[in-house]
Amino acid sequence: MNSTFTTFLRVILGITLFVFGINKFFNFIPLFEMPPAAANFLESLEATGYAFYVVAILEILIAILLLLKKWVPFALILLAPLSVNILLFHLFLDISDVIVAIGIFGLNVLLMYKYWKAYRPLFQY
């Protein structure tokens, strides 16, 4: 679990999540033209007044845990539904950035595999 490769993957995922989480608050990465369905989905998240920001806070929290190497298996479990949703959003609503979504999902799955010893008790009965 402490290999250089695992550390590299954890840091890359942490930085990516941190940047995209902070971007939801400060909009320093410009959004390109999106298909109407994708734009409507994001607008509806923002219109709730909380959902968009809860996702942003979770991304930042998970990123901090990954970067500080604190509770990494827990952070990866928290990230799992987010990474699936990011992937599905880009597959079905905005295919243009699907590479980033595949990367986040893939890193999450790969790191969960690397930390599998921590998850093993969950599957024993």
Residue type, 45: L
pTM score: 0.90
E strand map for the chain? none
Q: What is the mean pLDDT of each run of 10 residues along the chain (125 residues)?
A: 87 96 90 88 91 94 96 96 96 91 96 93 85
Per the listing, tokens 């033209």 go with: 33
Per the listing, tokens 């890193």 go with: 107
Q: Which domain holds residue 72?
A: 4-123
pLDDT tens sequence across 33-69: 889 999 999 899 889 989 989 999 999 999 999 999 9
Domain count, the chain: 1
